[in-house]
A and B are shown apart, each in its own frame.
Chain A
Amino acid sequence: MVQPILQIENLHKKFKDVEVLKGVDLSLETGDVVSIIGSSGSGKTTLLRCVNMLEEFHQGRILIDGEEIGYSGPRHKARKESEIARQRAMTGMVFQQFNLFPHMTALRNVTLGLTKVKKMPAEEANAIAGKWLARVGMSDRCDHHPGQLSGGQQQRVAIARAVAMNPKVMLFDEVTSALDPELVNEVLNVIKDLANEGMTMLLVTHEMKFAFEVSDRVVFMNQGRIEEEGPPEELFRKPKSQRLAEFLKSSKF
C-alpha cells in the first residue's frame, strides 16, 4: 500500500462550543488533486486551515508524509512553536486575499521563505524565485511591489511564493473569489499547469467547471462532514445524496 502524503483522520474542530468539523477523514496520495466543494459555512476553509495549522483542533490527527503535524501522541499534545513552523513549511497555502507582503517586491516575497526558512544563500534563492515567477508568467514584474500589480498578478506571485518552498502538499482556498471575472482564468490556468505536472493539491473552489476539469477526486462537504467523495464524473453527473444534487443545481454547473 502506498503511504498517503496527506492523511486526515477523524478531525474535529470547535469554535467555542460550535463544532464546525465533525469528524473528517480524507487522504491524498502524491500527485492527487482533490477539490472540496460545498455550501458556505460547511467548514471547507476551516479544514484547510487545520492542515496548515492556522487553527487548532481538538480531536483527530493530520499526517503529512507519515508525520503527525501540530500535535503528537495519543494525548494530543501540542508541539513547540518552532516544530510547528517547520511543519507548516511542508504545506504551501494560497489565500483568497493573496496576502502578499506589501513592502517587498514580488521577487522578495518569494525569496523570503527560501532565505529565512530554508537558509538558502541569496543567489540560489533568487534563481529559484526567478524560475517560479517565470512559471506563473511574472518574470517582467519581479521588481514590482504588490501595490503595483493587478489582483490576478498578485495571486500568481502568491502561488509562486508557496510553491517555491517545494511543499509536499499545496492548499488553495478559493483563490479566485476575490478577483475580477476577467482575471480568474489566468490564475486557474497556472493551477492547472501545476496540477498537470503532478503537484499534490487540496483546493477549495466555487468554480465547478474548474473543479470538474482539474480534479482526480471531488469532496462535497456539508455541515462539517464529508457527505460525498468520488471522481468528478460521478460526483457531478450522478450525485448520490439529495443535498449534493441541490447544491449542484444551485451552483449553476
Chain B
Amino acid sequence: MVEPGTFLYELWVSRWAILDGFGTTVLVSMLAIVLGTILGTLVGLVLVYGGWVSRFLVRIYVDFVRGTPVFVLVLASFYLLSQIGIQLTAFQAGLFALVVFCSTHVGENLRGALQSLPRGQTEAAKAIGLTFPQIFVYVLAPQALRQALPAWINTATEMVKASTLLSVIGVAELLLVSRQIISRNFMSLEFYFFAGLIYFLIDYAIERAGKAVERRVALPS
C-alpha cells in the first residue's frame, strides 16, 4: 500500500512525534496568549491610568521589549535567567519570553484603544453620577475591547509564529520535531511544507474564530 520511502509512509512512522510537537506548539502558544493578555491588560491599564512613576517604568519595559527581536528575548530568558539564579526549563524560559513579548503588544493595543475613546464618553458617564470603576466597567472597557479586538487577534497569530523560535533552545515544538524527522529521512521539502501548512491552519483557525467574535460583538448601525 504505502511504500517505505514515500512521504506518507514517513509521516505515518513519525505521527506520534508530530502530534507531540503540534501539541507543544498549541500549548505554548495558548499559554503565551492567555498569560500575555492578562499581563498586557495590566500594562495597558498602568499606561493609561498609572501615576507618572509606574507609567514611566512600564513605558520603558514596553519600548525595550518591543525594540528587541523576539529571538533575542527567547535566548536571553533561557541563558540569562539561569545566570541570576532563576532555573527554568527550556519550555518555561521560552514561554516566559513569549508572555513578555505578548504583554507589550496587548498593553500598547489596549492603551491605544482606551485613549482613542472620546472624552465625552467619560463626561457623560460622570454626569449621571457613575463612579470611576463603574465608568470603566460599563462605558469604557466594552468600547475599548471592541476596538482592540482585531489587533489582539493579530497578536494571537503572531504568537503562534513566534513559538517556532523556541526550537532554538530545544523545546520540542512542531518545527523542532519536523527538523528532527528531516535529519533522519532527508525529506526536507515535504516536511517543512507540512509544518508550514499546520502553522497556516492554526493561524487560519484563530483568524476565523476571531472574525466570528468580531461579528457577534459588532454594533448595529
Give A residues with C-beta under 8 Å from B: 52-54, 81-82, 85-86, 88-89, 91-93, 95, 97, 99-103, 112-113, 116-117, 144-145, 147-148, 158, 161-162, 165
Contacts and interface: CB of A to CB of B under 8 A. Distances in A.
Contacts, number: 80
Given A103-B146, A148-B220, A88 B127 contact: yes
Given A85-B129, A102-B143, 17 more contacts: A81-B132, A89-B128, A89-B129, A93-B124, A95-B120, A99-B118, A99-B121, A99-B123, A101-B138, A112-B128, A113-B129, A117-B129, A144-B220, A145-B220, A145-B221, A147-B221, A158-B124
B139 interface: yes
Contact of A103 (B124, B129, B134, B143): B143
B53 interface: no
A147 B143 CA distance: 13
Q: Which 6 A-B pairs have the closest CB atoms?
A: A89-B129, A147-B221, A113-B128, A99-B124, A99-B120, A93-B127
Prevailing SS type, chain B contact patch: helix
Interface string B108-150: 0000000000101101111111111010001100110010000
Contacts of B126: 52-54, 85, 88
A204 B127 CA distance: 17
A64 to B, nearest CB: 13
Contacts of A112: 128, 130, 138
14 contacts: A85-B129, A88-B129, A89-B129, A92-B128, A95-B124, A95-B127, A97-B118, A101-B124, A103-B142, A145-B219, A145-B221, A147-B221, A148-B220, A161-B128
Contacts of B125: 101
A26 B127 CA distance: 21
Interface in B180-221: 219-221
A116 B219 CA distance: 23
B124 A116 contact: no
Contacts of A145: 219-221
Contacts of A88: 126-129
A158 B142 CA distance: 19
B130 A148 contact: no
A158 to B, nearest CB: 8
Contacts of A161: 124, 128
Nearest to B143: A103
A67 B135 CA distance: 25
B127 A54 contact: yes
A118 to B, nearest CB: 8
Given A86-B129, A145-B220, A161-B128, A54 B123 contact: yes
Contacts of A147: 219-221
